[in-house]
Amino acid sequence: MVSSDRALAFHSYVAPWLAPVATWATQDLALRFYFKRTEVLGIEHLPRSGPVLLAPTHRARWDALMLPMAAGRRVTGRDCRFMVTTTEMMGLQGWFLRRLGCFGIDQQRPGTASLRYALDLLAAGGQVVVFPEGRIGRDEELIKLEQGLPRLASMAHTRGLEVPVLPVGLAYSHAVPQCGDAAALCFGPPLRLAGTGKAAAAELTNRLAEAMRSAEEAARRSVGRPLGAN
């Protein structure tokens, strides 16, 4: 069950009046008219119930619209709860994001409050999205992950909560998506934390980075921009 105190502290919830409007505006208008084609690969790997951590690559702001399209309420009957930076939770944008279930984390001073709130969501059977790279990256260097997601998986494991970590790759026809591009999202097979402690978290980090790159390669092939072709 989600702690009411933590939910109140983050002011994060899914507004029943706003979520359907946002779904229509993003999926039926923005994605449909901006991209000539959107494709979802590996959908068989996406759990339809129970807690899950979605771990996508981060290539454009469009990623935040692609994920609900591929894994949101129209597909699984539940919402994507995004962990985002505290800077994104400011002003009018933050007002909307909070009412769409997003919650912030301070990347400069990451505390345990955001992780504990994410853990509450997972314990309630929720679907939590964490961008493990921590920023948008458009180069082809090896994927480097921050420690927030492995730490969250370790906390869940310590609580006795087995949470699959689903690697996700996203790609567009151009590094900076343009109107008329193709867009693709690929789910990879779920990963699980093997053991406890820092060694297990480090091992998960390595496996996840490789799995995210593999999923991204599949997505890039789908849009006609394989790795090495910029």
Closest CA to 139 of 35, 227, 38: 227
Q: 4-134+154-222, which class in CATH? A: alpha beta
User: Residues 14-19: what's their mean pLDDT?
Assistant: 95
Model confidence pLDDT, tens digit, residues 167-185 = 999 999 999 999 999 999 9
pLDDT given for residue 126 in this prediction: 95
What's the mean pLDDT when you consider all of the chain?
91
Q: In the structure, what pLDDT confidence band is assigned to residue 142 with cuts at 50, 70 and 90? A: confident
Long-range contacts of 174-179 (CB under 8 A, 24+ apart): 174/225, 175/59, 175/138, 175/230, 176/60, 176/138, 177/34, 177/35, 177/60, 177/62, 179/34
Q: In the structure, what pLDDT confidence band is assigned to residue 143 with cuts at 50, 70 and 90? A: confident
Helix, strand, or coil here: 25? helix
The pTM (predicted TM-score) of the whole model is: 0.92
Helix, strand, or coil here: 105? strand
pLDDT given for residue 138 in this prediction: 77
Q: In the structure, what pLDDT confidence band is assigned to residue 5 with cuts at 50, 70 and 90? A: low
Q: CB–CB of 132/83 below 8 Å?
A: no
Q: In the structure, what pLDDT confidence band is assigned to residue 106 with cuts at 50, 70 and 90? A: confident
Which amino acid appears at position 153 of this protein?
Answer: A
Closest CA to 78 of 123, 128, 152: 128
User: Residues 20-30: what's their mean pLDDT?
Assistant: 97
C-alpha 211/C-alpha 166 separation (Å) is 9
Q: Between residues 47 and 138, which one has the greater pLDDT?
A: 47
Model confidence pLDDT, tens digit, residues 196-215 = 788 998 999 999 999 999 99
Which region among 5-19, 27-41, 42-56, 94-108 has the lowest average model confidence (pLDDT)?
5-19
Sheet with strand 182-187: strands edge to edge: 37-41, 182-187, 165-172, 52-56, 127-130, 80-85, 103-105
Alpha helices per DSSP H over the chain: 4-10, 18-23, 31-34, 63-71, 73-76, 91-99, 112-123, 148-158, 197-222
Bridge partners of 80, per DSSP, are 127
pLDDT given for residue 4 in this prediction: 53
Model confidence pLDDT, tens digit, residues 116-137 = 999 999 999 999 999 999 889 8
Residue 101 sits at the vertex; the CA angle it makes with 180 and 164, to the nearest 5 degrees, is 85
CA 121 to chain centre: 14
Q: In the structure, what pLDDT confidence band is assigned to residue 72 with cuts at 50, 70 and 90? A: very high
Can you give the residue ranges of every domain in the chain? 4-134+154-222
pLDDT given for residue 27 in this prediction: 97
At 107, list the tokens.
């990347």
